[in-house]
Amino acid sequence: MSERGLELADQLTAIPSLTMSELVERWQVLGLGEPPRLPLPLLQRLLAQLLQEQVYGGLSAKALRQLEAAACAAANNTMKNASAVSSYSSSASPSPLPCASASSSNLPPSLKVALRRVSSRQVTLRAGTRLVREWNGRTISVEVVDDHFVWNDAPYRSLSEIARAVTGTRWSGPRFFGIVGRG
């Protein structure tokens, strides 16, 4: 086992004996901010998971998005079923929960923490990259050049300028092209 693995094993072994205040302190030392308001046993498990992610790596961005989508679908399905059995349910079906951000209240705390980490990552686009997006039946294809972007053979300083030209409204260019999630 590597030195980091041994250090991790020692940290994991110590977690069950931590008090709530010690656990909160450890959480903050790791730079995770305030821990979610959960019972001590759940916070202990979550801290163990986060420590292991620091050593071995966490889930990929794609896996996190799939988990978020599944959690959202499950929450919306539960909400739909609950309204169906409600004693005075109206004919209008409940509107789906917005589930596109790490702050969604229906997500497990560990998934919220992981999604915040992924969504805060900065994306660097290399020259030659092509961004493709469909908008109202049109395919929008943008090429990344050294210091600008090219769309319809015209140079643009930012993706937001292109998104505005395409839609006629102000958009976050990176969001429009799916480079960053909603926040």
Q: Locate tokens 């686009």: which residue?
A: 125
H or E segment to which residue 162 belongs: helix 159-167
d(CA 110, CA 1): 26
Q: Is the pTM of this model over 0.75?
A: no
Q: What are phi and psi of 19, to 5 degrees?
A: -80, 170
Each residue's pLDDT expressed in tens, for the chain with a length of 183 residues: 566 666 888 989 999 999 999 988 988 888 778 888 888 888 899 889 888 888 887 777 788 788 878 877 777 665 555 544 444 443 444 444 455 544 555 556 656 665 555 554 556 788 888 999 888 989 999 999 988 999 999 999 999 999 999 999 998 888 888 887 544
Distance CA 27, CA 50 (A): 9
b/e map of 127-156 (b: 16 or more CB within 10 Å)? eeeebebeeeeeebebebeeeebebeeeeb
